[in-house]
Amino acid sequence: MENFDVIVVGAGTGGSYASYILAKAGFNVALIEMKSRNKVFKTTGDAIGVHHIDRMVIKPPSDVFMIRYEGAELYSPDLSIKYVVLGKGFGLDMAKWARWLIGEAERAGVHVLDNHKVQGPIIENGSVTGIKVLKPNGSVEDFKAKVVIDASGVGAVVRSRLPREWWVSEPLLPEDVSNAYREVIQVDYEIERPEYIRIYLDSKIAPGGYWWLFPKSSNTMNIGLGLWGKLSEENGINPRHNYDRYLANSQYTRGRKIIHVGGGIVPTRRPLPSLVANGFLAVGDAAVTVNPVHGGGIGPALLSAELASKAVIDAFERNDVSERGLWKYNLEYLKAYGTKQAMLDVFRLMLQTLTDDQLNRGLRARLLTEDEVLEISERGSLELSFIDKLKIGLRLMKVPDVASKLRLALRYMNEIKSLYETYPTDPSALSSWYGKVVNAYREYARGLGLSLKWLSNA
């Protein structure tokens, strides 16, 4: 049996970064990874906002950045309307990014144990006290720690195996995710405006989601799509099939030479009711921190890793790694990002009810301008003056069916914001608060005409 202060499961972005921060703070940290360290990297999106990089406590080397972005181009289903939304970011070389982060963690003193497969948590007296690990030699060993952090990705190999009555163990449903597939390819033409990522709304190609083209150089790109898991389940659609049918031999992939293929499940939903339990925290995709609208997860993984690490440091200083002792992480996460995430989830559900015709008409009428789209994506809300409201009101009159859904979404975004801003400061009040969230979502789903399984289970 091996003993550590903190065990982090998963050497992706969130896990490696949390390990680094904790080791630099003087903790004895084990980073457990089931793959070989050279095979650890995210296989869907690879874009990240500059502000996430600027916030990091360690600065990445220039070779992890493949391209600098100036913004995004958003296209209507019929391609007649293009929105240009400004926002600086980078396209990462995910393999180099992962190797760099793992290397920095190791140099900080982290015990990096790759090719080790976690089989489940060790729970004693209602607390997570370690994990059971299948080692490369085939033996199973107990690894003990005062705190375990699950950073294992959407599979959440620790969190998903915790007792169901624990708030943090809430399972993912198909309606909570996007099923994605992408290829990194080289093409035989020069990509126009490679400094802009492209987002295409098209329910034929990507029902309930979108397809994307992220330039990585003048003639290489990350091109793929994400489908709403609810529709994938109901209609038997998978993203690889749609990619092969609509994109693999399209004008966008002319001269296609495949560099890398991959796919996966992306959690795109509201925050978990809680990110902590006794002796336990979750970060990144394991904590469903992904932006619900655009599916970006690298930045939120870094942020959640930072906030979780600070909560652990504080808990050790107070000698209290209980749920209550780690609760600060919930509060700081919601303040920094989680409330916005919840509001964007409300907006996502509205978007997923719109037909291509409604999207075409709504974008053509400019129900929301580029600046308003940017404000919603950055803040999760829309602050409007009287004149702004008057202008939007006039635009809404042009497409009343879409306008009614947009009004409903904006109303419930504000309601959800108010609820998350009153998130309980003590675990004992969580059940009552969560009931209010469920009721708000029920009313909203009813207004959209949506049936959501999680509301039936709540």
Has residue 68 got a pLDDT over 50? yes
What is the CA 116 to chain-centroid distance, rounded?
25
CATH number, domain of 30, equals: 3.50.50.60
> Both tokens of residue 243?
């990619």
Residue 300's domain comprises: 2-46+94-171+270-326
pLDDT grade for 1, boundaries at 50, 70 and 90 = confident
Q: What is the pLDDT of residue 371?
A: 81
Is position 54 within any domain? no
Provide the residue type at 346 as one letter: V
What is the CA 250 to chain-centroid distance, rounded?
29
Answer yes or no: do 33 and 110 share one domain: yes
- Residue 146 and residue 102: Cα distance in Å, rounded? 22
Domain boundary among 227, 246, 267: 267
For the chain, the domain total comes to: 3
3-state secondary structure at position 268: coil
Total number of residues shown for the chain: 458
Q: What is the mean pLDDT of the chain?
A: 94
How confident is the model over 289-323, as pLDDT tens digits? 999 999 999 999 999 999 999 999 999 999 999 99
Answer yes or no: do 42 and 130 share one domain: yes
Q: How far is CA 377 from CA 64, 165, 344, in A?
A: 25, 33, 8
Is position 115 within any domain? yes
